[in-house]
Amino acid sequence: MELNTLLNALQTHLPEILRWSGAIAKRLRNFNIAVENKSSGSALTDALTLADLTLQELIVAALRDRDPIFRECRMEAEEKTGDLDRFSQDSPYVLSIDPIDGTKQYRDKTANGYCVMIHLRDSETVHYSLVYIPETGEQGTWVEAVHQKVVCGPDDLSRPAREVLDTMPAIDPETRPDSPQIYLIGFQDKDTSNARLVTEAGLQGVPPEEMPGSIYDHLATGAFGGSLIHTPNVYDFPVSLHIARILGGDAVWVHNGESVNFHEHWLDDRADMLRLPGITACSANSETLKILCELAKDWSQVRYQD
């Protein structure tokens, strides 16, 4: 399978699929759709709705049917729904779906920054990322990363989704602002206290309850400078990694400063999801990465202490 052929297929088909998914998410949000399923002890992680399950079913079916090349990829999806067995079991390329990132704020109607997202990666890095944020802006907001280019901007429902993305200017790393705000998540009951430590180190730590929405548009535009995440999952974090790398930064493990890869992961049985090991820092700014690594290098890499 040739990577550029796969990327062209993703760019062609995915925007309209995610736009449809976003429309369904907006509609379902009007109903009581909470589902009991996960038991990690974290309200953010355990939130699950019928919308998560429905959107994943739609996205997986669309990928199955739109182009045979998609079935040549492995599939990693946060939920269990969809015809996942139709996809390869041993491809070097992985399509990874988070049907609703920000499920708790979506379910509780506390904010509108939830998003639908998918990315393509191999064992070393991410090659394509697409994020649709249905209720940010008048008609939704896009983030797309591919071919060393990141775009972020408003949707226009009067035009085809691909056309909207094609007319967006690329974000220029030279003129992009560099916010000191750093998003922290995954530290269980220490998210807030660790955010204060980030602030004391000269940046501005932001715990989950203070986050205005998903990180991706904020990271792309420079409204946030990066993230510090304990054992990030493989469905959403890689998109931040992708954005940071295109904009001249990286995602690294804080204990050794090495670039994050996807050679190893572990199954979090409590949350029923795949995670990367350790604590990761992600930023387009190398100096920010140094500060975060120095601060967190000796923090425990064990997610659950009990």
Q: Residues annotated in the binding site, as ranges?
A: 78, 98, 100-101
Question: Cα separation of 53 and 24, whole Å?
Answer: 12
Beta strands (DSSP E) in the chain are 74-77, 94-101, 115-121, 126-133, 141-146, 149-154, 181-185, 204-206, 226-230, 250-253, 266-268, 273-275, 279-283
Q: Is 267 exposed, middle or buried (0-12, 13-18, 19+ CB in 10 A)?
A: exposed
- Annotated binding residues for Mg(2+), as ranges? 78, 98, 100-101
For Cα atoms 104, 220, 251, give the angle at the middle one, nearest 5 degrees: 85
Whole-angstrom distance between the N-terminal and C-terminal Cα of the chain? 44
For Cα atoms 255, 231, 34, give the angle at the middle one, nearest 5 degrees: 160
Give backbone dihedrals phi and psi of 40, rounded to 5 degrees, phi first.
-80, -20
The 3-class secondary structure across 96-165, one letter per residue, is: EEEEEECHHHHHHCCCCCCEEEEEEECCCCEEEEEEEECCCCCCCEEEEEECCEEEEEECCCCCCHHHHH
Residue with tokens 């309850």: 209
